[in-house]
Amino acid sequence: MNKTLLVELRTEELPPKALAKLGEVFAAGVHAGLADRNLVLAGGECKWFATPRRLAVQIPQVLAVAPDAKVHEKIMPVSVALDAAGNPSPALLKKLEAKSIPVSEIAKFEKRMDGKSETFFYEATVRGVKLEDVLGGIVGDALKKLPIPKVMRWGDSDVQFVRPVHGLVMLHGEHVVAGEALGLKSGNTTLGHRFLAGGTILLASADEYESKLESSGKVIAAFARRREIIAKSLQAKADELGAKVKLIDALVDEVTALVEWPVVYVSEFESEYLEVPQECLILTMQANQKYFPLFDAAGKLQNRFLIVSNMAVADPTNIVTGNARVVRPRLSDARFFFEQDKKNGFVSRAMKLGSVVYHNKLGSLGDRAQRLGTIAAFVAGKLGADVAQARNAGLICKVDLLTDMVGEFPELQGIMGRYYAQHEGAKPDVAEAMDHHYRPRFAGDVLPESNVSCAVALADKLDALAGFFGIGMVPTGDKDPFGLRRAALGALRILMEKPLPLDLGELIAEAARAFPAGMLSAAGFESQLHDFMLDRLRGYLRDAGHGQDVIEAVLAQRPTRIDLVPAKLQAVQQFLAHDAAQALAAANKRIGNILKKADGNIPEPDVALLQEAAEKALFERVVQLAPLVKSHVANRDYADALIALAGVRAEVDRFFDEVMVNVDEPLVRANRLGLLKSLFDQLNAVADISRLAV
């Protein structure tokens, strides 16, 4: 008989940022434990529930008793099981005793080959387990596997869990499954909302759990449904007020984990606080109070915000005014920090950068500021941007790290730098670079806009990369404490997507030169850094949907002009569809292998030394193609260059069919190698097409 199984664990308030994960993992653990014991039938949706004070799972089609199962068990090789007379050996008797198999069952043993030896196998019927005998253990195991970083103990009990536990429900249909977990005995009663529900809720069956909690307990148990209600309610309230609201996923998730019966109210603060940069106000409302700020149609912050409350009341005045009272000191702090930072100014703080250690092997923040100014000026010069502005922005872009506002809210670094720079009359590009030099901050983030901002952003990332690679602190495995992978990808995106006509090798060398002589002592770190960045680019291009062979064809040549990579990828992709692509790719690979084995310098091909008709035909075609391919590559018409090269297929095929390259005559052999070298250089003018060979 199969029925729905319900398991609920009631607790004190669970960690909100981990709640959804705890609910999912708990449900999966219970379901897996049942499946391992053949207690759950296939089909049906396993539902998980998670509120601030409970984890629960509802699993349909769970059996009270698992079906019996036949098992085939290997006993031991026949040569070991029987003695010379064919009687059971002591080893076999000992094995049978350990497995509680009667000696009389030997006659039922099956002989089968197992590898090279004949072996006894025994078919037995294993009785199915009873749900009530194992459910407590399954629940206990599932709880032990929860991703809990730190457990606690309460009272005089030895039980440990992320929070104190107060109740356990284990219902199979209408039947209470006797069992125990975390020191709690199972039952069929639960509690609803702490304030909106009254008394104990009796669950008559496992199927009524969600509806009974909602109707009698004022608890929306399903995390996903509660989240959907919150998101829709926030949007509806914003629409009602003629305002805009930004539903940040992480904040909506956290609020969902804090309430059981969500209701949205609107509150406000004094408009005078809007004089403070809105990013400061938004962050303090979201991070500290879990509020949702409201904006006008232009994206400007209003002095109103939305609250997701856990209380549905007829008159929410106390809730609204209470939250307004709570947020006011936070906004006052933000205003105080902003005013104090403006009074202290950038110059006085810039002088303190030298007293703050950046890294014990890479100097202070003051040392780093000097390097950023130097590198940014170099990049700006290459881009034709204002060198003086780039240098100035590089020198002061880290000063806001020493401000009170950024000390309180590290997420505002760069953003506050822009405001303070504007306050002190900095030029627009310099002020913009204060903020934009951190871009892109995360995957998919926007890039810096002006060339001055790009110069400072590249300086910031390349200084970190060159510095840490130069002292041998390279990311390994999943460890990257200095965010070098993010820095590398950010620099690559700026170079490629802006796009900027800069040489990556030259940028790395300039970043390394900005450090004092001898500080960066790791051998070959510049080449290692170049390879590291290309590896990051491989992953990025793969995630963007480019084929692995196409990516390798372009990156195998270790390009330094990252801005040209997209055009080359597109050209190789088009070439791959050409009829001659595979044949030329294979030929290119063959030529490369031949040239690797060649001894000494390979000369330019001499028409006077050509003997065979096939090699003369190939020579003529190579000479004919050379200026055409060179012109296409110079004009970055990479697709045209590759299509032009496709026309040499017939001559290449004929050459390899009719001509022996490694002949005894040294001059002829060298001349033929020279011909292949000329062809090889043209075939690889855009990409290493040998990587396309199947």
For residue 286, the tally of other CB atoms under 10 A from its CB is 19
Question: Quick one: average pLDDT of 509-526?
Answer: 96
Question: Quick one: average pLDDT of 1-26?
Answer: 95
Specify whether 366 is located in the same domain as 386: yes
**Which of 217, 251, 272 marks a domain boundary?**
217
**Which of 545, 578, 594 marks a domain boundary?**
545
Asked if residue 560 belongs to a domain, the reply is: no
Which residue, chain included where needed, has tokens 């998670």?
A: 50
Distance of alpha carbon 602 from alpha carbon 314, whole angstroms: 91
Q: Of 382, 417, 398, 623, whose CA–CA distance to 504 is shortest? A: 382
Distance of alpha carbon 655 from alpha carbon 292, whole angstroms: 72
Q: What is the per-residue pLDDT for 130?
A: 94
Asked if residue 354 belongs to a domain, the reply is: no
Asked if residue 582 belongs to a domain, the reply is: yes
| Helices 451-470, 504-513: crossing angle, 10 deg rounding | 70
Distance of alpha carbon 667 from alpha carbon 501, whole angstroms: 43
Residue 421, domain extent: 360-545
**Which of 77, 109, 126 marks a domain boundary?**
126
The strand pair at 180-181 and 184-185 is best described as antiparallel
Distance of alpha carbon 513 from alpha carbon 507, whole angstroms: 10
User: What is the pTM (predicted TM-score) of this model?
Assistant: 0.81
> Model confidence at 301, in pLDDT bands (50, 70, 90)?
very high
Distance of alpha carbon 618 from alpha carbon 652, whole angstroms: 7
Cis-peptide into 499, omega within 30 deg: yes
Specify whether 505 is located in the same domain as 370: yes
Q: Extract the tokens encoding 679.
A: 């062809």
Q: For 545-603, give the secondary structure using H, E and C.
A: CCCHHHHHHHHCCCCCCHHHHHHHHHHHHHHHCCCCHHHHHHHHHHHHHHHHCCCCCCC
Helix (H, G, I), strand (E, B) or coil at 167: strand
> Model confidence at 272, in pLDDT bands (50, 70, 90)?
very high
Q: What is the pLDDT of residues 352-366, one digit of tens each?
A: 999 999 999 999 999
Task: Please name every residue paired with 434 in a beta bridge, in sequence order, or none if there are none.
Answer: none
Q: Which of 91-100, 131-140, 387-396 is predicted with the least confidence, judged by mean pLDDT? A: 91-100
Specify whether 235 is located in the same domain as 316: yes
Q: What is the pLDDT of residues 551-573, one digit of tens each?
A: 999 999 999 999 999 999 999 99
Specify whether 22 is located in the same domain as 137: yes
Specify whether 189 is located in the same domain as 60: yes
Question: What is the separation, in whole angstroms, between the first and last Cα of the chain?
Answer: 57
Distance of alpha carbon 231 from alpha carbon 611, whole angstroms: 80
Specify whether 121 is located in the same domain as 176: no
Cis-peptide into 440, omega within 30 deg: yes
Q: What is the pLDDT of residues 621-653, one digit of tens each?
A: 999 999 999 999 999 999 999 999 998 999 999
Q: Is pLDDT at 325 greater than 90 in this prediction?
A: yes
Give phi and psi for 656, each to the nearest 5: -75, -25
Q: What is the pLDDT of residues 204-228, one digit of tens each?
A: 999 999 999 999 999 999 999 999 9
Specify whether 532 is located in the same domain as 572: no
Distance of alpha carbon 150 from alpha carbon 422, whole angstroms: 45
Asked if residue 642 belongs to a domain, the reply is: yes
Distance, CA of 558 to chain centre:
26
* % of residues, the chain, pLDDT over 70: 100
Tell me what the pLDDT averaged over the chain comes to: 94
Evaluate whether 305 touches 267 at the Cβ level (below 8 Å).
yes
Distance of alpha carbon 67 from alpha carbon 44, whole angstroms: 19
Q: What is the pLDDT of residues 106-138, one digit of tens each?
A: 888 888 888 888 998 888 777 889 999 999 999
Distance of alpha carbon 198 from alpha carbon 208, whole angstroms: 18
Question: Quick one: average pLDDT of 376-391?
Answer: 97
Q: What is the per-residue pLDDT for 694?
A: 67
Evaluate whether 385 touches 455 at the Cβ level (below 8 Å).
yes
Asked if residue 555 belongs to a domain, the reply is: no
Q: What is the per-residue pLDDT for 72?
A: 75
Going by the DSSP 8-state scheme, the letter that residue 584 receives in this structure is H
Evaluate whether 599 touches 663 at the Cβ level (below 8 Å).
no
Write the CB contacts of 301 (distance below 8 Å, at least 6 apart in sequence).
274, 278, 281, 282, 293, 294, 295
How many residues are given for the chain? Answer: 694
Asked if residue 556 belongs to a domain, the reply is: no
Number of domains in the chain: 5
CATH number of the domain within which 435 lies: 1.10.3210
Evaluate whether 415 touches 277 at the Cβ level (below 8 Å).
yes
